[in-house]
Structure 1
Amino acid sequence: MTWPTVALGEVLRPSTDRITLLPDTSYKQVTAKLWGKGLTLRGEVTGAEIAASHQNRVREGQFVISKIDARHGAFGVVPSDLDGAVVSNDFPVFDVQPDRALTEYVAWVSRTDWFIALCKQASEGSTNRVRLKEARFLAQFIPLPPLSEQRRIVARLNAATVAIERVQAARTEIDENLAALIIRSNETYQAQPIQLADALDLDEDRIAIASDITYPQVGIRGFGGGLFRKGGVTAADTTYRHFNRLAAGQFVVSQVKGWEGAVAVCGDEFAGLFASPEYRTFRCNPTVLRPAYFAYLSRTPWFHAKLAPATRGQGARRERLRPEMLLAISIPLPPVEVQDLLVPLFDRVAAAAACSGAADLDQLLPAMLDEAFGTGAGKQAKGECRGEAES
């Protein structure tokens, strides 16, 4: 259902509770996570450690937004544990008008993609100086059903969140059990210490970058998160002179983030895509290590712990996990015949985790938000927002 829309100024009223900071008093500071993830504690410091003599005190249930990062979803409702915390003038504070909206309803609205789009429309400025314009923000429109309907929407979304969290907890438990099974099996069944230099060979398919070709890219998530597709890159988009083309079964290592588990075995779905030269690729020696087995082993925290000491450099931006460091690592490995027997077992446990979690679980809540507030209402709010920005 599409609900009537109202200007945010009818729901949110600016609020200022400016206090003098006392040097010896401890204050909680608020920070806003990006992309509608809400407010959290930045830290707790004394007044003497804050580079200002006055700041604004916030109260539970107020809406706080970052002028600088509003367009990136940096805002949220003050939780109970941040009641009495302080924020700078870069974080405008608003009271939710109880006769128009429930605080929880505003909190849920602010988690939608289209609300972030409203904040983008309400921000202006040159590069690195884009700021939220408060008056323009309050002139944006959001869907606003009656309070009784707001209560129904909030109750439904709260119940869905509890259910999703239960499913995610079950998936996490299965994932942890799988990792424990992999590690225990790897150290148990006729395992012998093997230097990775005997199990992996540097194997890179370097492709010179041509000016008239787009190269689809891959990235690697940290902590065993695996490969993911990125956008295409042309010669004009990069200073690199070549990319590494991936092949199925290759072990891919991010030199920059390998120490935190940004490693993965390339599956068929990523074969033929490209990675920067900072991603080194290795071929598994088939007489020592099976790619399917290593795909599981390389995702475990146990294996990631082996990578951190092999990283060299000064400061996080200079640390590198270079091929010679990786190949010098020694790990226990069972014979390849045992590896072949273990992979189907790992597959069955991984399939159970996938069934318990559902591949699109992360998209379920956003879809429910669109449905709860009405896709038409969201689009209408966006349209009115664009009209306001253009006037």
Structure 2
Amino acid sequence: MRRLVSPRLISSMVVVLGACSDAEPAPACKPQELVVVASDYTSSGVGGLAGTQCDLKFGTDLGKDPLLVRSRGRTFLLARGINDQAIELDGSCGYPIAKRSIASDGATGTSNPQDLAVTGAGALWVPKFFRPEITIVGADGARDRIDLSSYDADGNPNASAIRILSVAGREKAFVALERLDNRSTELPANQTALLVRFDVATRKAEQVSELAGRNPFGLMVEAEGGLYLAAPGNFNRTDEADAGIVRYEPDTGASRLVVGEAALGGSVVQIAIDGTCGAAIVADPTQDVNRTAVVLFDASTGVASHTYAAPLYGPTSGYDLQGLTFTESTLFVGDRRRGDGGYPVHRFPRLAGCRV
């Protein structure tokens, strides 16, 4: 059963991020069910959702194209814009408590940070899509970078997701490389994608693995001892043999296609997993339209219980569904189409098994 939450979009900036500092404590804030980030690609908002109420605070300091990430129990908004910043949020309510530049040295404009992971020592590791590097910002503010240019013949392997895990008692960073063709404005996914394992202490690459799916898109999901990635391949096709949802084994570097995009009926945009219950937003191949729908799959067997042809929700009329997460056995789905009273967040309570 689906319930709607319609947050009202607030046009003025209520929280002044310019006043935040690394030492500023968050004020007392009421814990929320979910932290929500929204954007109209001019300004962005962040806040909390509780029940059917969502309170968002808007401001240009949040960037035009925000990304919400969690690592090591900490919540960050990546403000991608003129000056890329990581804004740490109170994870219980979404209140900004600190900010730090994650811009690449010498860069003008955004380097398009795609994700963020926190080490045990508090350093931020940030993969960049527009520049061949991982930017590292230490807890003390010290900066470093890992050069990734050698992983693609065109000089930029288009780094996307990152996770930091403990393997045999040592911290390892797992970084997905899309390896798109940057010589074309269409950025086709013609090459095999890679996942590179770095030792965090030495910052050296230890293992380079070919992924079973092309174009690892969006954030990784850690579940059942593995890392899951959306791998849509090219968005103008939904029948590619090496596109779908991939599981990567951190211990061995092996990967396999859990379920192909042909079985799901669309290119996979984003995934969420609760136990072995998986949900995904998929898109159809219509150019400049890419209608979206929510599908369900078993993360252990790959069997799809809902597909694009018979979705849990959708299809929409365009590329509308963005944002997907499980929390306390409830699936939340963001929607960019305006409804009565605002822009909806769809809520699907999860029942026994993988029934939603």
TM-score (ref. length: structure 2): 0.24
Structure with a larger share of its residues in strand: 2
The structure, 1 or 2, with the larger RCO (C-alpha pairs under 8 Å, 6+ apart) is 1
User: Per residue, is there more helix in 1 or in 2?
Assistant: 1
Bigger radius of gyration among the two: 1
